[in-house]
Structure 1
Amino acid sequence: MEKREKFSSRLGFVLISAGCAIGLGNVWRFPFIAGKYGGGAFVLLYLIFLVMMGLPIVAMEFSVGRASQKSVAKSFDELEPKGSKWHIYRYFAMAGNYLLMMFYTTIGGWMMAYFFKMLQGKFVGATPEGIEAVFGELTSNRNEMLFWMILISVIALIICSGGLQKGVEKITTAMMVSLLVIMIILVIRAVTLKDAAEGLKFYLLPDFGKMMEAGINNAIFDAMGQAFFTLSVGIGSLAIFGSYLGKERSLTGEAISVTILDTFVAITAGLIIFPACFAFGVNPGQGPGLVFVTLPNVFGEMPGGRIWGALFFLFMTFAALSTIIAVFQNIIQFARDLWGWTLKKSVLVNGVLLIGLSIPCILGMTDWAGFSLFGKSIMDIEDFIVSNNLLPLGSLVYLMFCVTRYGWGWDSFTKEVNTGSGIKFPNNKGVRIYLTFILPLIVLAIFVQGYLGMIRG
């Protein structure tokens, strides 16, 4: 059995784990929701739920990974009580990783396409209708989408084929540092625009009246959902990086570092988007429209917008690619741990599968555009299965595994999470009761809310 690789530095581990968590949801979902629910008021709520819900489960995933020194393929086998069946979850976790990549690589491809379109000056002098048409052309052109999806997938596979230290850690660290630098440059540009102060006020000043108007219950559920999904917990994509860690540092501090970085990117994205939109009188809508239609309008108006726009989409490409690399690494290591495959074999087989399985998402927007299930396109179905089912239920599996005697158990978990120097996980009766009885109910409520939202449609 070949020796398991370890991270060469703590910084590499924190940046890669954060890279997995930092995704497109930080950029196109968080700022919009924050604006909708009274800016700073929502951010406060979000931070409370992040500490109450996200952090403990991140620490649990890291602990399961480090204690077992395995990916989700074998981590439960190593730690579960004899005769129990926790290890069956590995197949659901892997399905979650695969399903996520089946649509995420397409969106990552859009980011890369837009980076090049910005560089070429495609949006210079274009009307708002012209800018919308560019996005329409991209999402109705099967071959162009296939090209970008395959390109971003192949880049991620080549990086993963370099192994942990020389491939994944080295490239992701450089990419994440670049991402943070680009973001800071873009924030400075956005906040120095004329009338940017209005956007900052809208985004950051707590407006509890606005939250009441939008409905306090909705705000709470959206804050919970965002805090929960932003960290990519529940499908073993964080546990894998715990499995490459030594025992020098306790895992609570590492979970906090990852959460802070993830939150920093989400909040900073709003500092770019809102001042820029307000400066040019553009409505900061939600989702793909915000990134692909609204912002190119803003960059089109801005002096030097071609460069600023290209930088923005380079940052977006890095945000997408960091997640793709992290999840690919989990998928590749899964086959190596479970079936003893070599790195080369796992990269080749999984690479072909990942690219092949991503094609239906693109066909769902083009050749199979008429297909829908419960009014959802192929991309929406894949997203719903991952975001509303596998992530919350998977988080529940990790949670119950770490707190109940039927799983790994509270004592084993707290011993592992607190091994090493650094911040310790609180090991008291109140925290234990909360994690055993209250947090599982909150996670279940989020799961149910996902279905209620779909029914209300």
Structure 2
Amino acid sequence: MSTNAVITLDALPPTTHTKPISSQKWSSHFAFVMAAVGSAVGLGNIWKFPYMTGTSGGGAFVLVYLACVAMIGLPILIAEVTIGRAGGASPMGALRNLAAKYRASRHWQIVGLVGALTALLVLSFYSVVAGWALAYVPVAATGKLAGISGAASETIFNTILADPVGQIGWHTAFMATTVLIVSRGIGGGIERAVTWLMPMLAVLLVLLVAYAAAQGAFLDGAAFLFAPDFSALGTEAVLSAAGHAFFTLSVGLGAMIAYGGYLPEGVSIPRTAITIAALDTLCALAAGLAIFPLVFAHGLDPAGGPGLVFVTLPVAFGGMPGGDLFGALFFILLGIAAVTSAVALLEPIVATMVERGFRRSSCATMLGLLCWAIGLASVFSFNVWSDVRIAGDERTIFDWLNLLTSDILLPLGGIAIALFVGWAMPLRALGGEIDLGPRWLRAWRALVRYIAPAAVAMVLVSALMGAAA
């Protein structure tokens, strides 16, 4: 697939766009941080990280997770942003430029192309899940959650899944919003959106934490998240921490390479990466402090996975004063988090086409339509195609897309990026982009060369073994 794809793209017309992609820049350090944090803080952060923390040792898991961020997530994040700024192009173009400059194989560009295509596949089903969150906003705002039981809440969710027309409507609205933002470019689209949406997300998080403190069992929720239980830290929990430390920073998809391509000189990549990781973790923990006090106040099961958001939490909101308002705000929060992540998923492949001379608005529209069409398979896997299975497996089409992208292509992309920066780029070139002292620079390169790819490889093997079981 990769070889044919490269030949096809190489056959396209050369870049004739009057404004090369590398000439576009973030207007400020704040804008880049908001865009990068918006890419990292998505639907998974709102429910997955708090849930993993609570069921895997609480504060002990947080400590392991932070160590994994430092040794796995941050090194690869720095590597991706460095490739973007040094290469001055889309993920594919940046890798091609740097490979030529440092006399490495031209086939490294395949990593950028596959990452961008993986992001497109992720967006196809991510948009569907985001549509579920949007569908809950009017449900909560109109008081339909008031006093509902667990069974009634499950019925609401199942009704949404069983309605292909309704799902397509929300899926379409979400994709249209994403396309509109990306089509307007960096300054007029992505930057403007994230500099409004991310502060709005922060305000909503603070309001929801305050609501949970006033109406929920706040101390119980905080203990669930932060009380250390080292007995729960088995091999599986450590691998989960390593995997989430990698996945949560949106590396392996080309998004940070694309965003790094717009980063001006003079901005410290390591300091910015640390800020991004810190804000991402803070948002995830704040989400936990907003969710679990409400769950415990009603004696509900905190180990609900995806059902925690769409089945369990509506019961909690429905039984509390002001639950209709704050329930609607919570699902608006999910929608905002999803949009900022979706924009980062679409941008890498759009950037690839723009630098080859195609108009940004046309690329965003065509690729958005393609992504929307692929997303229909995920929509139908919950209703009209719910009985469709591939090779006799129990997984639906939705499950297979998630497995292919999240468990296989994403970690493979992260490993490849780490190996490229660690082995193909000379230390002197890295020192020109990464403002670390010689000792810290060598330590970082050792992490990128050995520790990070080995750890991500273990996560990949674990995921594949789990999928095959």
Look up the match of 2:278: 260
Separation in 2 of the partners of 1:428 and 1:319?
A: 33
Q: 2:313 aligns with which of 295, 298, 311?
A: 295
Q: Report how far residue 427 of structure 1 moved.
A: 3.7
Summarize the alignment of residues 390-401 of structure 1 with structure 2, pairs less than 5 Å apart: 390-401=409-420
8 Å contact from structure 1 (residues 253, 424) kept in 2: no
Identify the residue that residue 455 of structure 2 maps to in structure 1. Answer: 442
Q: Distance in 2 between matches of 1:345 and 1:288?
A: 35
Partner of 2:85: 66
Aligned residue in 2 for 1:164: 186
Partner of 1:408: 425
Match of 1:455 in 2: 468
After superposition, the CA RMSD in angstroms is: 1.6
Q: 1:32 aligns with which of 51, 74, 97?
A: 51
Q: CA deviation at 1:409?
A: 3.0
Deviates more, 1:12-21 or 1:125-134: 125-134
- The C-alpha deviation readout for 1:348-376, integer Å capped at 9, x for no partner, is 22122121111111111111111123321
The question of whether the paired residues in 2 share the 8 Å contact of 1:54 and 1:228 is answered with: yes
1:351–1:428 Cα change, 3 Å? closer
**Cα gap change, 1:55/1:428 in structure 2, threshold over 3 Å: closer, same or farther?**
closer
Q: Does the CA contact (< 8 Å) of 1:73 and 1:335 recur in 2?
A: no
Distance 1:202 1:287, change over 3 A: closer
Structure 2 gap ranges (5+): 1-17
Aligned counterpart, 2:42 = 23
2:228 to 186, 206, 224: 206
Deviation of 1:83 (Å): 6.1
TM-score, length of structure 2 as denominator length = 0.91
Output one character per residue of 1:57-78: Cα deviation in whole Å (capped at 9) or x when no partner: 0001000000111111301111
Change (3 A) 1:425 1:115: farther
Any idea what SS the aligned residue of 1:395 has?
helix
The aligned counterpart of 2:27 is: 8
Aligned-residue offset at 1:177 = 0.5
Moved more, 186-195 or 309-318: 186-195
2:334 and 2:322 map into 1 onto residues whose CA distance is 19
Stretch deviating more after TM superposition (273-282 or 295-304): 273-282
**Mapped partners of 2:216, 2:262: distance in 1:** 48
Q: Distance in 2 between matches of 1:184 and 1:398?
A: 36
Does 2:198 align with 1:176?
Answer: yes
Q: Flag structure 1 segments of 5+ consecutive residues without an equivalent.
A: none
Instruction: Decide which of 213, 221, 227 is 2:245's aligned counterpart.
Output: 227
Tell me by how many angstroms 1:194 deviates: 5.1
- Residue 401 of structure 2: which of 371, 374, 382 is its match? 382
Does the 8 A contact of 1:29 with 1:286 survive in 2? Answer: no
Q: Deviation of residue 196 (structure 1)?
A: 2.5
Secondary structure of the corresponding residue to residue 70 of structure 1: coil
**C-alpha contact 1:102 1:382 (8 A) present in aligned 2:** no
> Structure 1-normalised TM-score?
0.94
Match of 1:87 in 2: 109
Cα–Cα, structure 1 residues 129 and 123, in superposed 2: closer, same or farther, change >3 Å? same
Q: SS of the counterpart of 2:91?
A: coil
Distance in 1, matches of 2:149 and 2:191, equals: 42
Given that 1:403 and 1:413 are in contact with CA atoms closer than 8 Å, whether structure 2 keeps it comes out as no
